[in-house]
Structure formats: C-alpha cells, structure tokens
Chain A
Amino acid sequence: MIRIGDAPGVRRLLIGVALVLTALFLLLPLVAIFAQALMGGIDLYWQNLSDRYTLAAIGLTLLVTLLTVPINLVFGVFLAWLVTRFSFPGRRLLQTLIDIPFAVSPVVAGLVYLLLYGRNGWLGGWLDSYDIQIMFAWPGIVLVTIFVTCPFVARELIPLMQAQGAREEEAAVTLGASGWTIFRRVTLPKIRHALLYGAILTNARAVGEFGAVSVVAGAIRGQTNTLPLQVEQLYQDYNTVGAFTSASLLALLALLTLAAKAALEWRAARRESLA
C-alpha cells in the first residue's frame, strides 16, 4: 500500500514546488532589498544610513521598542497568571479580549487611539489642558505599539502555564515560600523559554509596526518617524536607494530575530532529548 505522497515522483514534485515558492516569495525579496540598498555602492549606503533623519528614525524605533517590550513582558505575565491561576467570573471573556489586537486591523487601532487621545478626543482634551500631548508625538507611538503587540507574551504563556498546572506552586507555598519567592524560584524558571520567545516576537513586531503608528505619528520628519515610516517617506520622495537602505536595517533585524528564535528552539529540543 502506498501512503499518500509516498511515490517518489510526487514527493520530488512537492519538494520542488515548495522550494520554488520559498525562493520566489521569501528569498528573492530579501536579496532584492540588499541589492537595491547597495546599488550605489557601499559609500552611498553609509551616507544614507548616517542621514540625520534616518538616524532620528533609528533612535525613535529603539526608544519605542525599549519601552514596549518590558511593559508587555510584565503585562503578559500578569495576564497569564491571572487567567491560569484564578477562577473568576469573566475569565473566558478576558481570554478572548486578549486577542483583540490580533483580530483588529492596526490602522483601526491607530484611529481609535486618535479618537481617544487626539486634541479633540475624549481623553486628549483633558490631557491637553495639562499641556500633555500624546498624539503626533512619541508617547502616542509607544501607546499604539503596546496595544498592537500586547497579546504576544500572554499568548505564549497561557497554554504553557495551563499545561503545567499549579501543583509546583502549591508545593512551594506549603513549604513556606512567599509569593515573590514562588514566582522567582518556581514559576519563572518554568516559563523562561516561553517568556523569551514572547519577548522576541514582541520586539520584532514593535520594530516593524507600520499601520497603527502611521496614523498616530503624523509623519514629522526627524521627530515622529520610526524606521518603517521613514522607509515609506524616502520612497515617496523617489529616493529608492535611501528607502532600501532603511529597509535593509529592518530586514537585518528580522533575520536576527529569526536566528534568536531558531537558537531558542534548538536549545529547547536539546534539553528535551537530554531529560
């Protein structure tokens, strides 16, 4: 009996198709980015990179990421802890609500924030009277980025913590450990890998977020342009090489993320085979 796809011809065909598609859709664009960025030679690449506005965009992107990742780490752990360790009315609803940022288009998210925090918005007007500006400034960018990336950590942790159960924590508390000790010495080591993985995903998305940020940033060159916005603006200015130079930075970050993810998975697989 031949299982489906077991015939050598079929197998070769399937592998061939997969390879061609991967090359066409994934590899080629990646190569194209670097080819375009380096079209004018390495000198022009450096010149584009050290452009005042590009440097500002890099700085802003770093700032946004540095704020978003830790905030969402804490928030994600808190949420996963709440959902998996306690039973309360509305627990299921909360679990569904976590997914809203994934379900909703980032542009819509941006618009909602604009509505809330804009100068004529519900909260924005009140904040404005204290001279606090959220929209068209970095706090707005951080806010929408947090919104868009907040499910990543919780989504990684919830299934894991559900599977692991609370027995070890219960054992720890019967041994007299305080809440903080239990978290630090029992819970954290168990979820370490998932947490790191969640952070990597959050980081990747925070760096690359375009839709929501473009709505709330207002595209003020050198002030509220993150790297993805900078790419778009340079391209609209017919500065193709400049656009691709910035894009190559994003691509490089993406590759680093993938490498980190692969390394983590490899380590997890190795630990499993040892245990």
Chain B
Amino acid sequence: MSIRISQIDKTYGHKGSGRTRALAPIDLDIRDGELIGLLGPSGSGKTTLLRIVAGLEQADGGTIHFGEREVTQVHVRERRIGFVFQHYALFRHMSVFENVAFGLRALPRRQRPSNGEIRTRVMQLLEMVRLAAFAERYPAQLSGGQQQRVALARALALKPDVLLLDEPFGALDAKVRQELRRWLRHLHEELGFTSLFVTHDQEEALELSDRVVVMSNGRVEQIATPDTLYREPANRFVFEFLGDVNRLEGDVAEGRLTCGNASVSVPGVEPGRRELLLRPHEVHLAERSIPAAHLPVTVASIVPVGAEVRLELEADWLEEPWLASVSHAEFERLGIARGRRLFALPSRLHGFDAAGAQNVALPVG
C-alpha cells in the first residue's frame, strides 16, 4: 500500500506560551512495498511525522493517503497500521501469546475469528519470529530483542497495510540490533508490506532502507537511496550528519585554495573565502606532494580497528585535526608511526553554499 503525505505540518504548544514548529509542511511519496527510513537528530520531527501517519497525533494541516484511501481524518483504530514502539510497549500483565492475540480478540464480534483460528494464527506468527517456545512466558521474562520480536508479531497479527516503527532497535545493544535489522529486512522482503521507520542511527538507515528521508528542524533535507545520499549529499547538513567530516578552509584564487603553507588545486571553485569538506576515506597519504596538492601533515594518533587503520592528522594550517582511514597494506607500505610527516592527497572535496552542492574530484591515484 503506497503512502502519500502532502503538506503535513504541526506546531506544538498552547497559544501564548512558547510555540515550537515540529513540522514544516512536508511532502513525501512512499511506493507500495518500500522500506523507508526517517533519519535525523533528536528534535528533527521524524517521530512526530511517524505518529501523524499512524494517527496517534493530529496534524494541523495537510493530507495523508494510504493508496487511494484518504486517512487524514480516520481514527488510528481504523487506519489498519501496525506500530512498533521503541520500548516495545508490550502488555506486561499478558503472556506473549495473549499479547500477539490482542488485536484479533479486539475485533468486533462479527469479524473476530474463533478461538481455534486465533490460536493457529498466533502460533504461526510466533513461529515466524522464532518465539513459539515462549508463548506462555511474560514480557518481563524475555530479553529486549525477544520483546521487540513479540512486538513485531503483535503488530503484524492484523495484517496491516502499513508497518510503522519508532526507533525499533534503539533500546537494544549493538549485536542484537545488527541481527534484528537483518531479520526485519528479510521479513519485509518476504511479506511485502510498506514500512516506515524512524532512526537517529545513520548506519541503520543506510543499511535497512530502500530510500532514506533525512530530516532536520522539521524539514526534509533530502530523500534518496542510501548510495546517492552518501555520494551526492544535497547539502551540508546531510553531508555532516551521515558521517565523520574533515574541514579545509582557505582563500581560493585562480582555481587554487591556499591556507598557510598548504595549497590544493580546486578547479571550478569560485574565488574568495571558501570552506571545503571531505570524508576520512577521501584522504589519501603519500611521502611526496604532487603539483595538484601540497598538504603537509603529521600523524598524531593511530587506531587500528577492523579492516582499516584510523589516523588523526595534525598540521599548523588546520584548526582541528583531520581523520583519515587507510588500509593495513597502505599503513605498512608507508611505515606510518606517530610523529611521521606525510602529505595528504584528497581524492574529492565537497563544497556547499546557498546555491547547492559542488563536488571537486582530484586526480589522485
């Protein structure tokens, strides 16, 4: 079921006291069967948007359609959504079985399945979340990951058109989170429901979503596939929010940026005071400078983690140190140690101004 959100806005607070704009008018089209991540820092309005789509909160204006059905004024009870809460919100006094059966038992008498049918359906769902053996347990007796799986089974019991998840893995530890993510992706592909989930974790959004909606201050900053988002961020906020960022500030003249004793060629960049950004993996290191880039740095610290070595680079032309990640092979080839003097060779530089994004590729081998 597709979801069409148009011109939805929301302001909190009573008249007189402080009013805060939670959502500027927002438009968003979600295709049938898509898995969409709403990504943003806290206070960006992503949870508010999700709760408005669910019907748990009322928008001040705008419309929401599920497929061809307008649901703007439809009560949450009749929207046919499944909702998963960050802290599970399981019914603590009911067994796992009764939790999952709740929605079926709450149906009006005419639509309610028989006890036998409820039993079959619930056990099927518990089988799916691999918790059939825990049917008679109470929520407090389960781990966080298990509770969230119960919450998912409960949300799916009524075969909702749309599944909404509010920071579904936020309260879990890293390993369980990873596992549940993969599992949710799998479930989504198998059952084909349309889902919208909220997260503040970039990695989670990029890994799980078909498309990511980046939000800040109640506005949509960019809607794109994870790949596009990472490679071609629409603005500075998106670029900075999606990962670690190095800054380079200097004066540009005749296609070359100069900053103290450092300089780098930036073809196509307008002259004047400019700030350019780059990611740690876009910083390469060499023993000699090249004509296009003369950026002398000193290795300040070394952190070997996983597949890469993370370095902190210092220089007197830099206000704050740069981060760089290099392969172990590269690390050994250059004989990197603390205090070693090297030259940084950026493979890409990103500039953002009011006019939009500008990406400069440099010929670094």
For residue A190, CB closer than 8 A to chain B, the reply is yes
Question: In the complex, which of the residues B14, B56, B76, B138 contacts A89, with contact meaning CB atoms closer than 8 Å?
Answer: B14
Contacts of A186 in B (CB 8 A): 91
Stretch at the interface among A41-49, A163-171, A197-205: A163-171
Contact B102 A185, beta carbon cutoff 8 Å? yes
Contact residues, A159-211 vs B (CB, 8 A): 167-168, 170-178, 181, 185-186, 189-190
B56 touches A172 (CB 8 A): no
- Which of A170, A176, A189, A190 interacts with B103 by CB under 8 Å? A176
Given A167-B85, A170-B85, residue A175 in contact with residue B140 (CB < 8 A): no
Contacting residue for B83 out of A89, A171, A181, A185, CB 8 A: A171
Contact B138 A175 (CB under 8 A): no
Instruction: Give B138's nearest chain A residue, CB to CB.
Output: A275
Interface assignment of B106: CB less than 8 Å from any CB of chain A? yes
Minimum CB distance partner of A190 in chain B: B93
Q: Are B102 and A172 in touch, CB under 8 angstroms? A: yes
Contact across chains for B77 and A176 when beta carbons are under 8 A apart: yes
Instruction: Say whether B54 contacts A174, CB under 8 Å.
Output: yes
* B200 touches A (CB below 8 Å): no
Report the minimum CB–CB distance from A161 to chain B (whole Å).
14
Q: In the complex, which residue of chain A has the Cβ closest to the Cβ of B151?
A: A171
Nearest residue in B to A175 (C-beta to C-beta)?
Answer: B103
| Beta-carbon contact of B77 and A177 below 8 Å | yes
Residues of chain B contacted by A89 (CB below 8 angstroms) = 14
Residues from chain A with a CB closer than 8 A to the CB of B106 are 172, 175-178, 181, 185
Query: In the docked arrangement, what's the CA distance between A58 and B151, Å?
Result: 53
Q: With CB as the reference atom, state the residue of chain B lying closest to A272.
A: B140
- A168-B76 contact in complex given A176-B107, A181-B106, C-beta closer than 8 Å: no
Contacts of A170 in B (CB 8 A): 56, 83, 85, 89
Tell me how far the C-beta of B17 lies from the nearest C-beta in chain A, rounded to whole angstroms.
9
Binary interface profile of A, 245-275, with partner B (CB < 8 Å = 1, else 0)?
0000000000000000000000000000001
Q: A89-B14, A181-B106, A275-B138 are in contact. Are A175 and B154 (CB under 8 A)?
A: yes
Q: Are A178 and B89 in contact (CB under 8 A)?
A: no
Query: Which of these, B56, B89, B141, B155, contacts A168 with CB under 8 Å?
Result: B89
Chain B, 53-90, CB within 8 A of any chain A CB: 54, 56, 76-78, 81-83, 85, 87, 89-90
Q: Is the beta-carbon distance between B85 and A175 smaller than 8 angstroms?
A: no
Interface residues of A, dominant DSSP: helix
Chain B residues, CB < 8 A from A172: 91, 102, 106
Residues on B with beta carbons closer than 8 Å to the beta carbon of A174: 54, 56, 76-77, 81-83, 155
B234 in contact (CB, < 8 A): no
Minimal Cβ-Cβ distance residue in A for B55? A174
B175 vs chain A, min Cβ distance (A): 25
B350 to chain A, nearest CB (A): 41
Chain B contacts of A171 at CB under 8 A? 83, 85, 89-91, 151, 154
Which residues of B lie under 8 Å from residue A181 when comparing CB positions?
A: 106
Q: B158 and A176: CB pair below 8 A?
A: yes
In the complex formed, the residue of B with least CB distance to A172 is B102
B92 within 8 A of A: yes
A128 to chain B, nearest CB (A): 44
Cα distance A178–B78 when bound, in Å? 10
Give the docked Cα–Cα distance between A168 and B102 (Å). Answer: 12
Closest to A192 in B: B93
Q: Complex: how many Å from CA A171 to CA B81?
A: 11
Residues on the B chain within 8 Å of A168, using CB:
89-92
Nearest-Cβ distance from residue B49 to partner chain A, whole angstroms: 16
Q: Is the CB of A190 within 8 A of B92?
A: yes
Separation of A71 and B92 alpha carbons in the complex (Å) = 28
Residue with the greatest number of chain B CB neighbours at <10 A, chosen from A89, A170, A175, A181: A175
B89 in contact with A173 (CB, 8 Å): no
Bound-state Cα–Cα, A171 to B77, Å = 10
CA distance A58 to B339 in the complex (A): 93
- Taking a contact as CB atoms under 8 Å apart, the answer to whether A175 and B158 are in contact is yes
Contacts of B102 in A (CB 8 A): 172, 175, 177, 185
The residues in B between 103 and 122 inclusive whose CB is less than 8 angstroms from any CB of A are: 103, 106-107
Who on chain B is nearest to A182 by CB?
B106
Cα distance A178–B89 in the bound complex, in angstroms = 18
Partner of A275, one of B140, B155, B157: B140
For residue A89, give the distance in angstroms from its CB to the closest CB of chain B: 6
Interface residues of B in 256-303 (CB under 8 A from A): none
Please indicate the chain B residues that have their CB under 8 angstroms from the CB of A173 in the complex.
56, 76-77
B193 CB → nearest A CB, Å: 14
Inside 8 A of B83's CB, which chain A residues have their CB?
170-171, 174
B9 nearest CB across to chain A (Å): 20
Shortest CB–CB separation between residue A272 and chain B, in angstroms? 10
Closest to B14 in A: A89
Q: Which 9 A-B pairs have the closest CB atoms?
A: A175-B103, A167-B89, A177-B106, A174-B83, A171-B89, A189-B93, A275-B140, A176-B77, A168-B89
List 14 additional A-B contacts (Cβ < 8 Å) besides A168-B89, A175-B154: A89-B14, A167-B85, A168-B91, A171-B83, A172-B91, A173-B56, A174-B54, A176-B106, A177-B77, A178-B77, A181-B106, A185-B91, A186-B91, A275-B140
A sample of 9 inter-chain contacts (CB < 8 A) reads A167-B87, A171-B89, A172-B102, A175-B102, A175-B106, A175-B154, A175-B158, A176-B158, A181-B106
